[in-house]
Amino acid sequence: MAEREPFRWPVRVYWEDTDAGGVVYHASYLRFLERARSEWLRALGIGQMAFKESTGLAFLVREMQLDFLRAALLDDELSVTVAVKERRAASILFGQTIEHADGACLVRASVRVACVDTRRMRAVAIPADLILEPAP
């Protein structure tokens, strides 16, 4: 079975994303990764606020591993990818990259999110009717 193309979200680097030298500050990459996962959900028709209000559930980052390969700079055009690597009963493992417009990989990330009951702050099973992958 062929692997699906990852979801892609474009990002432009602004001053607010950089340090005084115009190099992207390391914590900014976390925001880029988060935004791409949020837009991936939105592209699947899942608004996070509506999901939380209707179910009392939210996806929270449980674990993250990042490999910083190259720096991004002010005004760079980037592409952030999202691919589901594993789905468990109460969590999803994503593979993500941040790539420069020229195709160079700047950051590789592995991100596990847990489905959490926001009232009890406990992990719970992902609802069975929640479709988190596009149709083939």
Q: Residue 73 gets which letter from DSSP?
A: B
76 is catalytic: no
Number of neighbouring beta carbons within 10 Å of residue 37:
21
Selected catalytic residue, list 17, 19, 117, 129: 19
Both structure tokens of 19: 């340090």
Both structure tokens of 74: 């002010």
* Dist. CA 133–CA 136, nearest whole Å: 9
* Dist. CA 69–CA 18, nearest whole Å: 17
Q: DSSP for 1-52? A: -PPPPPEEEEEE--GGGB-TTSBBPHHHHHHHHHHHHHHHHHHTT--HHHHH
The residues carrying an active-site annotation are 19
